[in-house]
Each structure stands twice: as structure tokens, then as C-alpha cells.
């Protein structure tokens, strides 16, 4: 009886870490970690990696080309707009009054030039008659010279009237152009990211009214260490992982490499003239396209938005 119980008792005395299922589990975990390490090593040999990268978008600043009070804001933040959609309408009362005034001035100039043409024709006829009479001795030299002077004066007045008509037309064309500027349209497809003004505000020429991002033209702006940039070439394939969407990968390729390091693009560069120098690793920026951007939309489940943090792997040759 005791002999029958001995194997069971012996198995209970085996340490926990030496049990068969525990050792198999440990072996599988170790194998998995080893495989992951090998894959990571092989990928690091084939890819150039950086996590210093963000999604970069085409920002469009919609501004006013003339001064005026806003009477209508047709778009709100987060709204998708199409090219040539109306965004802002400015008050047109003042410009319409100026247009009416310019139209009246043009009519007056046209009437004045007609009067000048009539007067010039009469002066020309008087000059011809005076010349004939002077040759026959019917009038004096003074009378003939007065007729010449009258013709010369009317010629000058006609030229001035022509100039006035051209000036009135130019003024009217300028006002009509300013009238068109009273309605501001979207220059491209995109999504309203920021509305900077409100209805009733008085805006000035060049003042930004909206900021728009075209989500179908987003790219990735990545910074690579200078020691790694030698492995990167334009046209190389790339993989992108966005921090906001773990487990999702986006494909693309390198479309440009900046011609200088990031430190050279700051407005005020530090010049070391003291000899106290610390060598720092420099970074070179590159731009990566995303193959999925043609279908990128704010209402999609995984929208790719400017400013998102990403990781980039550039596949080597």
C-alpha cells in the first residue's frame, strides 16, 4: 500500500520551477523573446529608425484683401469645406456708395469729352475759315492767331478729357475689384482648423480669418541623426506608426531630404568665438509621403491629423 503512494508523494516534492508545464512555458517565453530580439536586430540592420517625427500638413491661411466689417461667417471650426465655398462676407454698403460715385464720375467724363469734341470741331472749322479770310486780307493777323490759339486750347482740353475718362474707368475697375474682395472663398479643399475672427469684427487687409488644413496632402516630417542620414535616399520605402493608433502601420516613401541640419534653419544662429565648444549630434529633416492620404478624412475612423507624433522606419537599399 505504501509503495503505491510513493510516486504521488515524489511528484508532490518536485520544486515548482521544475514542473513540466512550467518549464515548457518558460521555454516558449524565452523562445518568443529571443525571436523578437532577432527580428528587432535584423530590422535595425535593414531600416533607419527615428521617433523624432510628426505629421505635417498643408496649412492655408485665409486672409482679407481689404478692410471692412464682417457681416457673415459661413464656416465653423471642424467643418469640411470645398474649394470656392463662401467663407466670409464683408459689409458692402460703403463700397457700393463709392461704386455709384465712380459710375457718376465716368458718365460726367463721357459727357465732357463729347462737349470737347464738339468744341474742337467748331474750333477747327473757325481756324480753316480764319486762314482763308486772312489770306484774302479780310481779317487781321491777330484775329488769325487768336483762331489758332482757340484751336490749340480746345485740343489740350480734349486730351485732358480723354485722360479724365481713362482715370474714371480705372477708378471704377478698382472699386469693382474691391467689391469682389467683399466675398472671400476657400482657396482649396480642407477642414477649418481655427476661426480667428467673429461676425461684427472690423478686419484689415492681410488679417488672417481662417486656418485650413488639407488632410489629403499630409506628410510626415522626420528628423534623422546625422550619423544615420547616409543610409537614407530619396525614393526609399518607409513605414510609419502613429502613436494615436497602436498596431496600425502606414506605408510611404522618402520624397525629400533637407539640404541642411535643423540648427541651420533657426533665425539667430549661435556663433562660438570663445573656444568653449561642446559637440552635439545634429539632425537632418526629411519628408515622407503617406500612401493612404488620398482617402484621409476628418470623419474617418483613423484620421491622420497634422501634429500627431509618429515613428518612422526607412528601408535601406
- pLDDT tens digits along 275-317: 666 677 888 999 999 987 777 777 888 889 999 999 999 987 6
- Is the predicted pLDDT of residue 5 greater than 50, yes or no? no
- Looking from the CA of 174 toward its CB, the CA atoms found within 13 Å total 10
| Lookup: cell for 150 | 482757340
pLDDT digits over 101-121, tens only? Answer: 888 888 888 888 888 888 888
SS3 content of the chain, % helix, strand, coil (to 5): 45, 30, 30
pLDDT band at 21 (very low <50, low <70, confident <90, very high): low
pLDDT digits over 57-84, tens only? Answer: 889 999 999 889 999 999 999 899 999 9
pLDDT given at position 1: 44
pLDDT given at position 19: 62
Longest dimension (CA), the chain: 170
Q: Kindly state the percentage of the chain with pLDDT values over 90.
A: 34
pLDDT given at position 309: 95
> Do the Cβ atoms of 57 and 214 come closer than 8 Å?
yes
**φ and ψ of 84, to 5 deg:** 75, 10
pLDDT digits over 159-181, tens only? Answer: 888 888 888 888 888 888 888 88
Nearest to 307 by CA among 70, 57, 8: 57
- CB-count burial class (<10 Å; 0-12, 13-18, 19+) for 270: exposed
pLDDT given at position 22: 64
Nearest to 287 by CA among 225, 226, 218, 227: 218
Query: What residues contact 91, with CB distance under 8 A and at least 6 apart?
Result: 68, 69, 70, 71, 182
> Do the Cβ atoms of 254 and 312 come closer than 8 Å?
no
Q: Is 242 helix (H, G, I), strand (E, B) or coil?
A: strand
Pick the residue with more confidence: 244 or 298?
244
- Identify the residue whose cell numbers are 512550467: 22
Q: Which whole number is the average pLDDT over 130-156?
A: 83
- CB-count burial class (<10 Å; 0-12, 13-18, 19+) for 183: middle
> Do the Cβ atoms of 282 and 202 come closer than 8 Å?
no
pLDDT given at position 41: 58
- Is the predicted pLDDT of residue 16 greater than 60, yes or no? no
Question: Distances in Å between the alpha carbon of 186 and those of 64, 211, 304?
Answer: 12, 10, 22
Highest mean pLDDT among 101-105, 131-135, 198-202, 227-231: 198-202
Domains of the chain: 60-209 (2.40.50.100)
Which range has the worst mean pLDDT, 15-24, 77-86, 250-259?
A: 15-24
Amino acid at each position: 500500500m505504501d509503495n503505491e503512494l510513493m510516486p504521488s508523494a515524489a511528484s508532490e516534492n518536485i520544486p515548482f520551477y521544475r514542473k513540466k508545464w512550467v518549464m515548457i512555458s518558460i521555454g516558449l517565453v524565452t523562445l518568443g523573446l529571443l525571436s523578437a530580439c532577432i527580428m528587432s536586430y535584423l530590422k535595425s540592420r535593414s531600416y533607419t529608425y527615428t521617433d523624432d517625427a510628426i505629421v505635417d500638413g498643408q496649412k492655408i491661411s485665409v486672409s482679407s484683401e481689404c478692410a471692412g466689417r464682417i457681416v457673415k461667417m459661413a464656416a465653423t471650426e471642424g467643418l469640411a469645406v470645398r474649394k470656392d465655398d463662401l467663407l466670409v462676407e464683408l459689409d458692402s454698403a460703403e463700397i457700393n456708395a463709392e461704386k455709384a460715385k465712380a459710375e457718376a464720375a465716368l458718365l460726367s467724363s463721357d459727357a465732357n469729352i463729347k462737349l470737347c469734341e464738339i468744341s474742337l470741331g467748331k474750333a477747327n472749322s473757325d481756324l480753316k475759315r480764319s486762314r482763308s479770310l486772312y489770306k484774302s486780307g479780310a481779317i487781321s493777323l491777330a484775329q488769325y492767331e487768336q483762331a489758332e490759339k482757340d484751336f490749340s486750347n480746345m485740343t489740350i482740353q480734349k486730351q485732358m478729357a480723354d485722360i479724365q475718362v481713362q482715370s474714371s474707368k480705372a477708378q471704377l475697375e478698382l472699386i469693382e475689384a474691391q467689391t469682389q474682395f467683399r466675398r472671400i472663398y476657400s482657396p482649396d479643399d480642407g477642414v477649418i482648423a481655427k476661426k480667428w475672427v467673429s461676425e461684427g469684427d472690423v478686419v484689415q487687409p492681410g488679417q488672417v480669418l481662417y486656418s485650413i488644413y488639407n488632410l489629403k496632402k499630409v506628410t510626415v516630417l522626420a528628423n534623422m541623426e546625422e550619423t544615420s542620414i547616409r543610409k537614407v535616399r530619396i525614393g526609399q520605402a518607409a513605414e510609419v506608426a502613429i502613436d494615436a493608433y497602436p498596431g496600425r502601420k502606414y506605408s510611404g516613401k522618402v520624397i525629400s531630404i533637407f539640404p541642411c541640419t535643423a540648427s541651420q534653419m533657426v533665425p539667430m544662429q549661435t556663433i562660438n568665438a570663445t573656444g568653449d565648444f561642446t559637440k552635439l549630434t545634429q539632425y537632418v529633416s526629411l519628408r515622407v509621403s503617406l500612401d493612404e492620404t488620398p482617402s484621409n478624412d476628418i470623419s474617418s475612423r483613423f484620421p491622420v491629423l497634422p501634429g500627431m507624433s509618429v515613428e518612422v522606419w526607412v528601408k535601406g537599399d
